[in-house]
Structures are given as C-alpha cells and as structure tokens.
Structure 1
C-alpha cells in the first residue's frame, strides 16, 4: 500500500493509504471527502463548544439585540422553552448576543466537551507524526459521535437555524465566511505531486511509480490556482537545528581563539631549525660575551 502525505500549502493535513493502481478520479474523490469532512468536524466542534457554554442559537432577527430592544420590537424566541438541555440549564450570557444564554449543566456540558475532544483526536493532524492514516469511516464516526452527544443533551433537537443542526443536515451556509475559503469541493480539487498536477483519467502509478511500499507527499489545490510551492530540501525544524549547530561551533572556535596559549612556541620541539642545527653540530654551541 502507498502512503500519501496530504498537504494543503505547507501545512500537513493527514495520511491516506491506497494502491498504485487507483484511478486519480477515485483518489481525488476520497481525498476531498476526508479533507472537507475534517473541516466539517472542526466547524461542528467549534459551534458545539459555544453550545456547551451559552446554549442554543437565537433566531437571526434577535441576534445582537439587547433585552430591551427585543421587548420593544416584540420579538419572541419560539424555541426558548422547548430546546432546554437535559438536566436543566444555568444562565451563561453570551457576550456576542448569538446564543440564548441557557447553557447545559456541568454534567451535560462535560458530555459535549469530552465528545468534542474525542472527535478531534480521531482526525487530528498529530496522527501524521504517529504515522497513522485517516479514512472516510473515521471522519463519519467522528460526525456520528458529535451528533450522538448533542442528542443526549438535547433529546428534543436543536432549532432548525442552529449552526450545529445545519451542519448535521448538510445545510450549512458558509458563503462569505473564512470557512468557505478553506473548503475545496471535489470537482474543484486538484492533486499535485512533485510539482506536477495529477491529471484525472490516469492512475496513481503514472505519477509515483508501481512501488507499493512507498510514501509520497501530495498537495491539494483549487483548480485555476497557481501550482503549490515545492517542498523544501530541509524542513523548517531541520533548518533551525542546523543553524543552532553551526552557531555553537562558531562560538566554540571563537572561545578557543580567545584562550589560545602560544607559550608552546618557546619549546625546543617547536623550533623549526632544531633538526638543521643538529646535523651541523651547532646545538651545543654556547655564546660567551667578550
């Protein structure tokens, strides 16, 4: 099996295992599912963290308004009394005005927070360092874990406009957000290896060879964008270590030069003319003043 180290720009994303006879079309589809799935997991985790802290999202027309403004405008949250966390709630005001401030109790909050961490660990970038691959099944498992935790805390469900609910239903609205810039739809994704685009209609072996016991770096890119930058000859960490090593060597040489003792030049063995005088019989000549 070939291991592909998937990167976006210079940032590692995940490892993916496949075979050299895999069509690039199929490979791109799988990579896109995992790549975008990981982004989706992180989006849900971020919103669930806010859900655990400040309760469900307010209707759009009530977000950012003060209690007085809501009263004056005669607005009402239809889900305020129905979407109540299991085991009750505690008042935790949301400074951004997006959520209703009815947060789950500590017991229910711990369920959400623990599940969030487990889901993140399942698709973490740290798996690259551990040489562990990520699959579509792992991404789906992480999503199901998150959904299950929300159902435990909110068995009646969340408001239909809550970001977490929209994500679970694949109805999230990302247009105009930073998240929309990160997502690469499968038809718009291209894979690059060794500075060349891996064109659809070909096999992986057409680009990386037929050796199944190999590991290569593949970069994702949006179609139409310029080619991703080539990999550095040495990594940033290796470069830092090299610079630190040569700096230490430079300091050691400098210290030796400062403390260098030249007294050995007065020694007999350091006299370059000693051998010549020995052959000429001049070593024992002593000078006497007149």
Structure 2
C-alpha cells in the first residue's frame, strides 16, 4: 500500500493509505472527505465545552440580548423546556448571551468533555507522529461518539438551531465564517506532489510508478489558490538535530579554548629564571630610594 502524508500548506494533517492504481479523481474525493470530516469533528468539539458549561443555544433572534431586552420584546425560548439535560439543569449564565444558561450537571458535563477529548484524539494530527493512518471510518466513529454523548445528555435532542445539531445533521451554514475558508469541496480539491498537480483523469501510478511500498508527501489545495510551497530539503526534526549538534560542537570548542589558555605563564611560579635570579641576589630589587 502507498502511504500518503497529507498536508495543507506546511502543516501535517493525516496519513492515508491507498493503491498505485487508484484514479486521481477517486483519491481527491477520498482525501477531501477525510479532510472535511476532521474539520467537522473539530467544529463540533469547539462547541462542546460551551454546551457543557452554558446549555443549548438560544434562538437567533434572542442571541446577544440582555434579560431586560428579551422581556421588553416579549421573546421566549420555546425549546428551553423541551431540551432539558439528563439529571436536571444547573443554571450558569452565558455572559455573551448566546446560550440559555441551563447547563447539564457535573456528571453529564464530564461525559461531554471526555467524549470530546476521545473524538479529537481519534482524528488528531498527532496520529501522523504515531504513524497511524486515518480512514473515513475513523472520522465517522468520532462523529458517532459525539452524537451518542449528546443523545445521552439531551435525550429529547438539541434545538434545530443549535450548531452541534446542525453539524451532526449536515445542515450547518458556514457562509461568511472563518471555518468556511478551511473547507475544500471535493469538486474543487487538488492534490500536489513534487511541485506538480496530480491531474484528474490520470492514475496515481502515472506519477509515482508502480512501487506499492512508497511513502510520499501530498498537499491538498483548493482550486485557484496556486501551487503550494515546496517541501523543505531538511525536515523540522532533522533541523533540530543539526542545531543541537552545532550547539554541542560549539560548547566543546569553548572548553578546548579554555584548556589552551596560557595566561598561567605570567605567574611567578612559572618563571624559569626565578631560581637563577635568586642565586644572583637579583630578587626583590627596588629602584627607588630606601
């Protein structure tokens, strides 16, 4: 199997295995699905702490308003009494006015945060260092873990406008957000290797040959963004080792310089003529008047 080290820019994303006879079209789809799936998991995990601390999201027309404004406008969160966390709610006001403040109890809160950490670890960039290849099944497993935790804590479900529910139901609207810039639609995705774009309609073996035991670095890019930067000749780890070697060598040279110091030759005990002058009575001579 060919192992692809997928990067976005200079940042490692994940490892992916495939065969040399796979078409570039299929490869782009598979890589883009995993890449975008990991982004979805990250977006959900970024909302999980807020859900655990401040409860469900308020309706859009109530977000950011003060209690007095909500009262004056006679607005009401109709989902507040429907979406009650298991074990009852604990009130903790959301200072930015985005959530209703009816947070889950301590046990349910810990469940949400623990599941969030497990899901993030499953598709983490650290899997590259561990030499673990990420698959779409792993991404789905992470999403299922998050979905299951939400269902346990909120048996009646989340409000339809809650971003976590929208993400889990693939109804999210990312237009105008920073997160939308990271997403790469499958039809707009490009893969680059060795400063060359892999053209749709060709196969992977047209670029890397038929050796099935190959490891290459591939960069994913959105169409129209130009060629990504080349890979550095020396990897980051190799660069660190080189700098460490140079530092140690410099310290060794400093010690050698200190060892070769000949300032001791100016000392009285190192004077080779001292004994001769003593016999001749030439020591302790003062030229001034006594």
For normalisation by structure 1, the TM-score amounts to 0.88
Displacement of 1:82 after TM fit?
1.0
Q: Which runs of 4+ in 1 moved over 2 A?
A: none
Displacement of 1:244 after TM fit?
2.9
CA distance in 2, matches of 1:145, 1:8: 26
Q: Which moved more, 1:143-152 or 1:193-202?
A: 143-152
Q: Which moved more, 1:232-241 or 1:98-107?
A: 232-241
Which runs of structure 2 are paired with 1:134-145 in the superposition (5 Å)? 134-145=134-145
Aligned to 2:266: none
Q: Any idea what SS the aligned residue of 1:241 has?
A: helix
Which runs of structure 2 are paired with 1:56-135 in the superposition (5 Å)? 56-135=56-135
CA distance in 2, matches of 1:246, 1:118: 40
CA distance in 1, matches of 2:132, 2:79: 43
Which runs of structure 2 are paired with 1:176-187 in the superposition (5 Å)? 176-187=176-187
User: What are the superposed Cα offsets for residues 114-150 of structure 1, whole Å, 9 maximum, x if unpaired?
Assistant: 1111111111111111111111111111111111111
Aligned to 1:163: 163
Aligned to 2:53: 53
Aligned to 1:10: 10
Aligned to 1:257: 257
User: What are the superposed Cα offsets for residues 78-116 of structure 1, whole Å, 9 maximum, x if unpaired?
Assistant: 111111101101111112210001100011112111111
Displacement of 1:241 after TM fit?
2.7
Displacement of 1:239 after TM fit?
1.6
Aligned to 2:240: 240
Q: Any idea what SS the aligned residue of 2:220 has?
A: strand
User: What are the superposed Cα offsets for residues 45-92 of structure 1, whole Å, 9 maximum, x if unpaired?
Assistant: 111221111100001111111111111111111111111101101111
- Unmatched runs of 5 consecutive residues or more in structure 2: 264-290
User: What are the superposed Cα offsets for residues 149-201 of structure 1, whole Å, 9 maximum, x if unpaired?
Assistant: 11111111111100011111111111111100110000110000010000000
Q: Any idea what SS the aligned residue of 1:49 has?
A: helix
Q: Any idea what SS the aligned residue of 1:4 has?
A: strand
Q: Any idea what SS the aligned residue of 1:60 has?
A: coil
Aligned residues: 264
Aligned to 2:217: 217
CA distance in 1, matches of 2:257, 2:149: 67
Q: Any idea what SS the aligned residue of 2:61 has?
A: helix
RMSD over equivalenced CA pairs, Å: 1.5
CA distance in 2, matches of 1:121, 1:55: 24
